[in-house]
Structure 1
Amino acid sequence: MNDLDMVRDLRSEVRQSETNDLHRARRRMLTAVASEPPVRPVRRMVLRVATMGALGVTIMTGVTVVQSLGTDDRERGITSAPAWLSVANAETLATHATAAAAGQTDIYPRADQWVYVKRDYYTSPKLMPEVVVPPIGGGKTGSRYTAEMWTRGDGKERARRNEGGKTIKRRQGGEDPRLRFDPAYLRSLPLEPSALLERLKKDTSVIPLPEARAVSRQILSILQEGVPAARLRAALYTVLSQLDDVGVEKVRDLLGRQGVAIYTHDDEGIRQEVIIDPNTFVLLGARHIYVGGAKSPSPYSELPEGEVIISVAQVSVGIVDDAGDVP
């Protein structure tokens, strides 16, 4: 006798369920379910609180990892990222930033107030002294230093103080939209992504670059130099995510903070990044990295591929009453 014959013999000894039996069993089951007391909402709330607590532990663990970075690694711009940090595409990042910005109030300075920004800079020691590295506009190659900048609310004046210095250098603001990242200019930009794209195309039309490349460069500059408010920042992410040759990657900034880099490549073989906090979507910093594959003569062609040319970390931001004031 094989196994199937044994099963058939055993089954034949058991009375088979009839239709009435099945109906009665179904009614008993439904009655029992209906009589169960509803789940109290408190249980669900406890579960949510527990989940948030676990997330907080995870974030704190990530902070501990960041703080353990060596000074040499930070100064050289070496990057790595923890396993818990999730990275989606630029489109998803923009969607999350837009949702977060919806509940925030945009705060701009008055025309007579100033936006204060403190930044930490690093430049590669392998750069030739004659190479001009934007957006520093100064500083020696192979150095690590801090600078403080002030931009007047109406865009008519800027000021700067280098690390260790007591003198504040003031200069007049420009009207060229390629060089304007002041609060007055930012407030003039539309928040709807398609309208914002058209405005940026118009403002960059005189730049001798392909249209999409000019727009992406302008967006990266605004994010890095302009300190845009939350809704405009999200709109800029959205426009950037819709352009070609835009990607995201997990990185650490100059201070070792974990973030997501939104990047593009230029014709000189430079990968241009802005580094975003994946939780608050504010700017952490920016980097220019030589990756090779230049489509035109490049002043960086003697550098090894992967060399961090410049790395900038945004240390603090605030609104003050006058240049020289600190939040």
Structure 2
Amino acid sequence: MDELAQLNDFRSEVPVQEDLRAEAERLMAGMSAPAPSGLRRLALRAALAGGLAAAVGAAVFVVQSPPVPAPAPPMIRTVAAVEVLSRAAERVGSRPELHPGPGQFLVYESRSMDTSEGDGGIWLSRSKRTIWLPVEGSAVEGVLQEEILAPLPYPGHPLPSAARAEQALVGKPGRPERAADFDDRAEFLRNDYAYVSKLPTDTEGMRRHLYTQVPDDGLQDYQAWNRVGGLLDESYLPAAQRAALFRAAATIPGVVTVKKARDAAGRTGTAAAMVSPNGVREEYIFDPETYDYLGRRGVVVDAKLANAPVGSVVSSSAQLKVSVADRPPSVE
């Protein structure tokens, strides 16, 4: 099956559910304009040619410091969320754990697909990536090696000429590069092992962490949901903190279960999800048997807000392997 057929298959397996419509309307109540793209999840990503890019192999952190701190709202567990996330919490510790030490690196191998824009066009960028991140310290000390895959059209749009820069790199193995030029995240947004291994191990404590300095602007639950993803993608939590994260995530209002979801590697699982202010259902996908985290997926539920047909997949990732290394490859 070619990539376009696979993308269409992704669309066909996503029903439009009334509870998701209601959640999208709730999130957008009180908003006069779509939220800026800065509200999307924080991620290390090799920048590519285009409006969202800087240079191949260089990743940039974008940080928006919330202006007004607000306490986490009361915990309300929903049956839909508990179905996936509580099972994931219960299965934590059933598989061998990694125990990286000072001076070592965690190595993440993954595939990803994300929206890119440039020169008035929009498309889907894809890559295979391996990133070495220090157990303690800044991502600036990390190393990224990325293989660019053929870009795909953004659903409902032709592939623009701006995507040609990526097409020219297809089939050329990437060289190790610095993972980031700078890392100015606030302390509470860190996701290196030295920091996350000291996070709370109880549900209420982890929930307070997810809502740290989140403004009470109607989008606080979605921002907390984004922070869950920041602790899952290219981050490794010890078992106690991981279980607390899943239980805390299950208490975020608006989280629903998606019975069938597929990650960027084509693996099928079950997901916990929330609708973003941009009309996209942001899913965290788990293996249906082991409940190991597989990856994420963004599925359109509001065509007008997302500028794409309902059911379209506009982002996805697959976490393929996490390991420990004494050192990363050298950077030329």
TM over 0.5, shorter chain: yes
Map of 2:88 onto structure 1 = 97
Q: Structure 1 pair 207/319, CA: closer, same or farther in 2 (3 Å)? A: farther
- CA deviation vs aligned residue, 1:158-178 (integer Å, no higher than 9, x gap): 221111112322445445246
Alpha-carbon separation, structure 1, partners of 2:119 and 2:198? 36
CA distance in structure 1 between the aligned counterparts of 2:179 and 2:7, rounded to whole angstroms: 29
CA contact (8 A) 2:263 2:318 kept: yes
Residue aligned with 2:226, SS: helix
Partner of 1:278: 288
Q: CA deviation at 1:104?
A: 5.6
> Is 1:145 matched with 2:127?
yes
- Is 1:228–2:230 an aligned residue pair? no
CA RMSD of aligned residues (A): 3.1
TM-score (norm. length: structure 1): 0.62
Q: Which residue pairs with 1:122 in the alignment?
A: 113
Residue among 109, 123, 136 paired with 1:154? 136
* Counterpart code for 1:159: V
Q: 2:10 aligns with which of 35, 58, 78?
A: 78
Query: Matched residues in 2 for 1:178 and 1:269: separation?
Result: 27
The answer to whether the aligner puts 1:263 opposite 2:273 as a matched pair is yes
Q: Post-superposition shift, 1:100?
A: 2.3
The C-alpha deviation readout for 1:98-157, integer Å capped at 9, x for no partner, is: 332255665342221111111112246xx643699xxxxxxx933432111111000322
TM-score for both structures, normalised by structure 2: 0.62
- Indicate whether 1:111 and 2:102 are aligned: yes
Please tell me whether Structure 1 or Structure 2 has the larger radius of gyration of its CA atoms.
1
* 2:261 matches 1:246: no
CA distance in 1, matches of 2:5, 2:113: 12
The reply on whether 1:324 has 2:329 as its aligned counterpart is yes
Which has the larger share of helix?
1
Q: Gapped runs of 5+ residues in structure 2?
A: 14-78, 148-172
Q: Is the 8 A contact 2:176 2:329 kept in 1?
A: no
Deviation at 1:258, TM superposition (A): 1.7
Deviation of the 1:73 alpha carbon:
3.9
* Identity percentage of aligned residues: 23
Equivalent residue for 1:308? Answer: 313
Q: Residues 110 and 321 of structure 2 are in contact (CA less than 8 Å); yes or no, is this contact kept in structure 1?
A: yes
Report if aligned partners of 2:143, 2:176 keep a CA contact under 8 Å in 1.
no
Secondary structure of 2:264's aligned partner = coil
Q: Tell me, which stretches of 5 or more residues in structure 1 are unaligned?
A: 1-68, 82-87, 133-139
* Structure 2 CA distance for aligned equivalents of residues 123 and 130 of structure 1: 17
8 Å CA contact 1:80–1:251 kept in 2: the answer is no
CA distance in 1, matches of 2:255, 2:119: 30
Q: How many residues align?
A: 236
Contact 1:224–1:283 (CA<8 Å) still a contact in 2? no
Task: Specify the SS of the correspondent of 2:296.
Answer: strand
Work out whether residues 74 and 255 of structure 1, in 8 Å CA contact, stay in contact via their aligned partners in 2: no
The answer to whether 1:181 aligns with 2:170 is no
